[in-house]
Amino acid sequence: MRGLLARFLRDEVGATAIEYAVIAGGISIVIVAGVRGIGTSVSGQFSAVSSAFK
C-alpha cells in the first residue's frame, strides 16, 4: 500500500494535461475579453453610421 501511494505521488502524467487545460482556459478568457471589447466598439460605429443615414 505504501508503494502504491509513493508511486501515485511521483506520477506526473496528469499534471501536464492540467497545465495545458489551465493555459487553454487563460487564452480563452483573453480572447473572450478582446472580442467583447471589439464588439462594443464596432457596435458604436454601426450606431454612428446608422444615425448618419437617417
**For every one of its 54 residues, what pLDDT tens digit does the chain have, with 9 covering 90 and above?**
888 888 877 877 778 888 999 999 999 999 999 999 898 888 888 898 989 887
Please give the grid coordinates belonging to residue 12: 506526473
d(CA 1, CA 11): 15
Task: Report the residue count for the chain.
Answer: 54
d(CA 3, CA 10): 11
**What pLDDT does 44 receive?**
86
pTM (two decimals): 0.58
Residue corresponding to grid cell 501536464: 16
